[in-house]
Amino acid sequence: MTIFIASDHLGIEMKHELINYLNNNNIKVEEIGLSNYELDDYPDFAFKLGRLVKENKESLGILICGNGVGMSIAANKVKGIRCVRATSTDDAFKGKHHNGANVLAIGADLDIDLAKEIVDTFISTKPASLDRYIKRINKIISYENGEYNEL
């Protein structure tokens, strides 16, 4: 599995710490290849990472911006991406296991040890397995594809 990672200018330090942390734990990490500068725009990073995760089915993504909200909103505009903004390990677990998240957005304002715990939880959590979760995820996918018949 590959973990794609990206940040805007506010998340550069955390991104580098997480890359080192993941590499030290033998997890394959790839930066998405866009350069950071002082006034870069988080949607550019979210869109590119989202496309890479969509194209690489067994991959996951990690996005970092000021508080994770902007990256989450932008990433969720990419068809096939379900991005969870997490501020706790519970958010990361439920985002992936209950809602099929394939991208994690976190804030650069988080403590680095908490960020590592959130990332660990997100990566190690198994995808949805209960029928009720799978049914809900499939409704989201159907809606995204213009096929959902609303109640």
Instruction: Identify whether the C-beta of residue 107 lies closer than 8 Å to the C-beta of residue 118.
Output: no
Whole-angstrom distance, CA of residue 18 vs CA of residue 2: 14
Residue 26 burial (10 A CB sphere; 0-12, 13-18, 19+): exposed
Residue 65 annotated among the catalytic residues of the structure: yes
Which one of the listed residues 9, 16, 65, 97 is annotated catalytic? 65
Residue 21, token pair as written in the block: 């942390």
Say whether 83 is catalytic: no
Catalytic, out of 9, 83, 97, 98: 98
Active site residues: 65, 98
